[in-house]
Amino acid sequence: MKKAVVVGGGISGLATAWLLREKAHAAGIELEITLLEKERQAGGKIKSIRDDGYLCEWGPNGFLDSKPQTLDLCRALGVDGRLLRSNDNARKRFIYSEGVLHRLPENGPSFLKSDLISWPGKLRLALEPTPFIARAPKGDETLAAFGRRRLGDEALKKLIAPMVSGIFAGDPETMSLQSCFPRIAELEREYGGLVRAMVKLAKKKKQELAEGKVVASAAGPGGILTSFRGGIQELTDILTDRLGDGIVAADETVERISAGKSVPYRVMSDRGELDADLVILATPAYASASMLSDLDAYMSHLLDDIPYSSMTVVCFGYERERIARDLDGFGYLIPKEEKMNTLGTLWDSSIFEGRAPEGQVLLRSMLGGACFPGYIGLSDDEVRQRVMGDLKSIMGIEAEPSFIRIFRHEKAIPQYIVGHNDRVTALEEKLKSHPGLYLTGNSYRGIGLNDCVAAAHRTSDDAIAHLKQR
C-alpha cells in the first residue's frame, strides 16, 4: 500500500485529500492518506464564528458561482442542497469617493450617468478601444501600470486599486497583472483591448446561446456569492467529516520533510515521523519554505520570497434602527486617496440571511493590507475608534456598536507581485527533481476558494498519474 501525507488542512489540503482518495479509489490504487494540520480545527483561513446570535466570518464569506470548481465540489459531496446564495441586492456594490458612496456602475448607460468618474476620466476611459493606447510590454507589468496605460489614472485610483485591495488586500503598484488577473492579460493579447474583447465575447456568447451550446445564467459576470446557512465553514467541516479521524490528524505541526530511506520521503512533525511515497504541501509558502529547507534550499528560498499582506477584520453589530441609511447592497470599497482608515466595509447581514439576530445588522470592515502594513499592530481600542470614525464619516453611523469582534491575520493573503509567475515556474521546474512532492494552495496560481479547489484537482490528478507510473 502506498502512503500519502497531505500537510495543511485549509480548503486546499482538505479538498486535495478528498479528491485524492476518490481518484485513487476510482483508479483501483490502494492509498493510505494522512492529513496533518497544525491547528486543533481544520479549515485554515475559513472559520465561521457563531457568537451572540451573529455569524462572523473570520476570513472568506463565500465563493463565486461564476467559476464551477467549488460548486462542483459541493455537488460531488452531495451538499449542494445546503448552499445559500447571496441576496439579490448584493449585486449593488459601492465605492466611496469625495464624501459620497457611489454605486458601482454595472453597464455602459449607468456608467455614463454615474458621478464616480469625472468627465475627463470618462473620456480617458473611452480611449481604451482606440489605437492611442500603448501596447502591453513584452513581460509582466504591475496592475497600476496596466490600469494607467489602458484606463487612465482616475479609473486606476477609483476602480482598479479598490478592487485589488478588496480581493488581495494588495498594492496595485507592486502586484502582477499576469499572476493576479491572467485572463485580462490574455484578453488584451488576444483581442487588442478590453472593450473589444467584451464585444467579441458577448457576440460569441449570443451565438452559442442561439445554437444551444451554453445555458443562460442569472449570474452577472462576477457571479453570485455563495455560502452555506451556517457560514462557509460548513464546507471545510463537511470535508473534514468525510475524511474522518482516520485521515485528519489535527494539532500536529510538520517541521521538516527529508529524503526517506526505504520510501522517498520522511515527514517529521512535533509528534513523530511518517514515511511517505507522496507528500503534498498545502501550507502557506512561508511554512512550506521552512519544512523544505533541508531537502531543497533553493526551493525553500523561492517560497520564502513570496510576500504576504496582513489584515484586520472587524465585525460590528448594531440595532437596525440606529442606522439611518438603507443597507441595500454588498458594501463599499475605499480608494487609498480618500485617506480613510478602513479598506472597505461589507454589509454582511444584507448579503446573506441569518448573519445577525432579528432587528440587528452586521457590518464587517477590513483594515490594513499591503498599503497599510502597520495597522496589524493597532490595539483593539485603536481599531474600534478608527472603524467607528470611518462608519460615521461614510455611513453617518453615530451609535456605538452593540457587538464587536476583531480578528487579526498577520499573514492574510499571498501577494502575487511582479515576477510571481517566474517564481512559480521555477518552483514547478525544481519539483521535477523531487518526484512525489507537490505544492498546492493559494500561494501560487490564485487565491480564491475556486482557485484553491482547481489547484486541488490538478495536484490530485498529478499525484495519481505519478502513482500509476510506479
Ligand X SMILES: Cc1cc2nc3c(=O)[nH]c(=O)nc-3n(C[C@H](O)[C@H](O)[C@H](O)COP(=O)(O)OP(=O)(O)OC[C@H]3O[C@@H](n4cnc5c(N)ncnc54)[C@H](O)[C@@H]3O)c2cc1C
Q: Which residues bind ligand X (CB under 6 A)?
A: 7-13, 36-39, 44-46, 59-63, 253-254, 282-284, 287, 311, 313, 409, 412-413, 441-442, 447-449, 452
Q: Which is nearer to ligand X, 117 or 282 (CB)?
A: 282
Are the beta carbons of 20 and 31 closer than 8 angstroms?
A: yes
Q: Which is nearer to ligand X, 313 or 467 (CB)?
A: 313
From the CB of 269, what's the least distance to ligand X, in Å? 7
Q: Which is nearer to ligand X, 178 or 442 (CB)?
A: 442
From the CB of 174, what's the least distance to ligand X, in Å? 18
Q: Which is nearer to ligand X, 192 or 307 (CB)?
A: 307
Beta-carbon contacts of 463 under 8 Å, excluding residues fewer than 6 positions away, are 4, 20, 278, 280, 436, 438
Q: Which is nearer to ligand X, 452 or 464 (CB)?
A: 452
From the CB of 150, what's the least distance to ligand X, in Å? 26
Query: DSSP letters of 388-415?
Result: HHHHHHHH---SPPSEEEEEEEEEEEE-
Query: DSSP letters of 94-138?
Result: EEEETTEEEEPP-SHHHHHH-SSS-HHHHHHHHTTTSTTSPPPPS
From the CB of 99, what's the least distance to ligand X, in Å? 27
Beta-carbon contacts of 46 under 8 Å, excluding residues fewer than 6 positions away, are 10, 11, 58, 59, 60, 232, 233, 235, 236
Name the strands in the sheet holding 100-103, side by side, starting at the edge strand that comes first in the sequence: 100-103, 93-97, 331-333, 342-346, 360-368, 308-319, 403-414
Cell numbers found for residue 31? 492509498
Helix (H, G, I), strand (E, B) or coil at 238: helix
Q: Which is nearer to ligand X, 167 or 194 (CB)?
A: 167
From the CB of 409, what's the least distance to ligand X, in Å? 5
Beta-carbon contacts of 94 under 8 Å, excluding residues fewer than 6 positions away, are 101, 102, 103, 104, 329, 330, 331, 332, 333
Q: Which is nearer to ligand X, 33 or 413 (CB)?
A: 413
Q: Which helix (H) or strand (E) holds 228?
A: strand 225-228
Cell numbers found for residue 162? 479598490
From the CB of 77, what's the least distance to ligand X, in Å? 16
Q: Which is nearer to ligand X, 7 or 417 (CB)?
A: 7
Q: Which is nearer to ligand X, 97 or 460 (CB)?
A: 460
CA pair distance 209, 200, nearest whole angstrom: 14
Cell numbers found for residue 183? 485572463
CA pair distance 265, 331, nearest whole angstrom: 48
Paired sense of beta strands 100-103 and 93-97, if any = antiparallel
From the CB of 352, what's the least distance to ligand X, in Å? 11
- Residues comprising the chain, all counted: 470
Q: Which is nearer to ligand X, 61 or 360 (CB)?
A: 61
Q: Which helix (H) or strand (E) holds 83?
A: strand 83-85
From the CB of 411, what's the least distance to ligand X, in Å? 8
From the CB of 242, what's the least distance to ligand X, in Å? 16
- What are the two backbone dihedrals, phi and then psi, of residue 84, each rounded to the nearest 5 degrees? -120, 120
From the CB of 169, what's the least distance to ligand X, in Å? 7
